Chains A and B, each alone.
Chain A
Amino acid sequence: MRLDWDTLVYFFPKLLAKLPLTISIVLVATVFGLLLGLALALARLERVPVLRQASGVLVSFLRGTPIIVQMFLVYFGLPLVLQTVGVDIRDWDKIWFVYLTYSLNAAAFFSEILRSSIGAVPKAQWDAAAGCGLTRAQTYRRIVLPQSVAIALPATGMTITGLLQDTSLAFMLGIVDVIGQVKAMGSITGHLLEGYIVAAFFFVVLSLLLERLFHRAEKKVTLRQRTS
């Protein structure tokens, strides 16, 4: 196998066109993962009966199994489960199953990050807020969550970068994202290596951008609030 420069140049725009899809998986999973992750974290922190145990089991499962397994369980299993209650999702586009899987997976990791960063906010901050007459919900919203965001930023950045790398498995469901396109064009043209080189370039650039973004965000919040 020889590296063919012309193929590289030929692949570049074809793969670039698939980049938005790859990014969309990361974005969707980040947004919904953070929301669900926060809910999962709060269920445990606030010791909500039943939900707290459910959250623990779900998080352990999602953190303890490969994402590829989760994806196939969601893709093949969820329609079966929903069928029993009369909901038919079998003809949904595959991308929705990918979004769902990656959101669930991200939620598990975000929930653990949020749980520990919320726990890292000094207890005295709660006391001070209570002393000012704030309710628990108000204290979360106005005092504790803003502070835990600052604490959670580095780990969140790493998780999102990991999520980006994990999207490389979505093609297994037949999604034509960047990696899916590499596979597809590889089998048409017989050039796989060139495709992977271009893909690697995109992933590196995106990871570096994420790293820069989070580095700047961290600098900004630590300038604003230094946790004692």
Chain B
Amino acid sequence: MPHEPILEVTGLRKSFGKTPVLTGIDLAVQPGETVALLGPSGSGKTTLLRCLNFLERADAGTLRIEEQRVDLRHAHSKQILALRRRTAMVFQNYDLFLNKTVLQNVTEGLIVARKVSKDEAIATARDVLSQVGLSTRLDARPHELSGGQQQRVGIARALAIKPAVLLFDEPTSALDPEKVQEILDVIRAVAQTGMTLLIVTHKMGFAYEVAHRVVFMEGGEIVEQGTPAQVFGAPKQERTRQFVSRFTEGKAPEYFI
């Protein structure tokens, strides 16, 4: 892709105490690209996403999103706030605001952080909520919704603020198995609108089908990346091969889950 990356992170390092968790991450994401981040549990995928919007403070590295460039270690709170407003995150456990209705969950960031007028925010919220398949129950509270519905709201909340990059951290792994596919379908539809997505997932079939690029992480570093066909079909690294084979078990990539 010839574009200038919309997100570019270089030399990202992070330790918790004395334990290194990310040992030098370089990653660029192109505008409109869907990147799937794969890797075994504990490989640092969540920490990477959290460093990208400063939910964790990295020890070193730089990050550029659109035209804003920051030092990940030394960024001050104004820069952090501005940078956060260029991303949005969809969480594994949805993490909807428990004291807000469905509609308020989506309008909150617009009204409070972006100073959008209330009417405009509500219009946007209705729009994105219908995009994720929720047009009723807008006055329900999170605890009244199923996991699948909550995650739809989580996705709508992220979409509403029209981020440059949408970050997903295992968006389906807390869901009942029968709800997984419908949420993946919602995400696929979002990807097809041309938004830029960085998705941590264990759904290999989904990554294969939807991602333009697959990034395989292990032990706090990026081991291999490439098109789904390359990474799943002909992994170059032994570690990637081992990881992928656990899911494919000899099946052609098109058929695994």
Contact = CB atoms under 8 A, between A and B. Distances in A.
Interface in A103-128: 122, 124-125, 127-128
B88 A131 contact: yes
Interface string A137-160: 010001100110010000000000
Contact of A228 (B50, B88, B98): B98
A134 B108 CA distance: 9
A135 interface: yes
B54 interface: yes
Contacts of B96: 128
B95 interface: yes
Interface residues of B, number: 28
Interface stretch (A65-73, A169-177, A219-227): A219-227
A226 to B, nearest CB: 4
A228 B150 CA distance: 12
Identify the interface centre among B50, B55, B93: most chain A CB within 10 Å of its CB. Answer: B55
Contacts of A225: 98-99, 141, 143
A125 B97 contact: yes
Nearest to B110: A132
Given A125-B97, A225-B141, A228-B143, A133 B89 contact: no
A122 B96 CA distance: 11
A225 B87 CA distance: 27
A127 B143 CA distance: 19
B14 to A, nearest CB: 16
Nearest to B114: A133
B49 to A, nearest CB: 10
Interface string B31-56: 00000000000000000001001110
B152 interface: no
Contacts of B113: 132-135, 138
Nearest to A146: B99
B88 A129 contact: no
Most buried by B among A127, A131, A143, A147: A131
A3 interface: no
A127 B87 CA distance: 13
Given A131-B88, A133-B114, 8 more contacts: A125-B97, A127-B50, A127-B55, A130-B55, A131-B55, A132-B157, A138-B113, A142-B112
Interface of B: 50, 53-55, 81, 84-85, 87-89, 91, 93, 95-100, 108-109, 112-114, 141, 143, 157-158, 161
23 contacts: A122-B95, A127-B95, A128-B89, A128-B91, A128-B95, A130-B54, A131-B88, A131-B89, A131-B158, A132-B109, A132-B112, A133-B81, A134-B108, A142-B108, A143-B99, A146-B99, A147-B98, A150-B99, A225-B98, A225-B99, A226-B141, A227-B98, A228-B143
Task: Report the 3 A-B pairs with minimum CB-CB distance, sorted nearest first.
Answer: A132-B109, A133-B113, A226-B143
